[in-house]
Amino acid sequence: PGLAEKLAHFAGQQSMAAETSKLLGKAGRFYPDVAAHGTTWVCCNASVTPRLQTGPMCGLVALAMGSTALHTLKHGTAPTDDDPGPKGEVDPISARLLEAGRDKGLTLQGEIFAAQSIARLAEEELGLAAVVVDDVDLQTVARHVCSGGLAIVPYDAGPNHEPELLNGQKAHWALIRGVGVRACGMEDALEQGNFENIGDAMWLAKSSTEGASEMLTGLLDSVPEEAVLLFAQHGKSRHEAAWPSKALFASNANLNTVDPKRLETGPSGEAAFVIPNADDLKDIRRKAVLLS
């Protein structure tokens, strides 16, 4: 890479370090129970360009963000048709997914109520590898993300879009882009070159570092689920979120029935959304889509 590319990469790393440090500081205040499990944050965090959804397009927007992030990671640049666009407008990648989803009978307005639909669009329209995981758990998602992949997880969104237990009434999709683990006594190992110190007792994995991935996945075996945060991006906010992993998977497991308002029909009896199983959201409950 030339000087311009090197400078851009360095600037991106600096920006990611500052963003992650700020996120961890906030998470430590909001989730003291997580912070109490250790003295040091050890984390990985992928670079993701946020984009806002228009209408019920949270799943498609999460997929568009994930596709762009993986393309940039693999090729060093964003796709040529990537443009998050201004608020209120559908970006080109999400628009292409919406058109394809309608053609395939997967959606009407951009809503997605099946993990398999996300995977199908990822593979057929974006050329990604996509695996639907049943009975999803922290280990599966976190290990995939720590190894350079991304995950799209459905959950019930609360007032601030955080995971809640609402029986599926506020089903939403989020892109999981990073993992934060609270640990003890790791400083000597962290200083060996695979991690960057980004603040007081905060360490961020350097991109594309195999040693960092191995250390993080090893940590996941030795700490309780309560000591793990997941870093998320979703279509309702430009800001990255950090959620306790236990809260996210509990919310995912409680996706049972759709909001009755989404079952309302038009004047001619036409449906407003494509919902495969409105009485039982089994197509998204306990599921996630792993992207690579």
Catalytic residues: 58
Are 68 and 93 spatial neighbours (Cβ–Cβ below 8 Å)? yes
Beta bridge partners, 45, equal 178
Count CB neighbours of 180 within 10 A.
Answer: 27
Beta bridge partners, 181, equal 42, 228
Are 196 and 20 spatial neighbours (Cβ–Cβ below 8 Å)? no
- Burial of residue 185 (CB within 10 Å: 0-12, 13-18, 19+) is exposed
Number of helices (H), then strands (E), belonging to the chain: the values are 9, 10
Are 150 and 176 spatial neighbours (Cβ–Cβ below 8 Å)? yes
Please state whether beta strands 130-134 and 228-233 pair in parallel, antiparallel, or not at all (unpaired). unpaired
- Give the chain's length: 292
Are 59 and 173 spatial neighbours (Cβ–Cβ below 8 Å)? yes
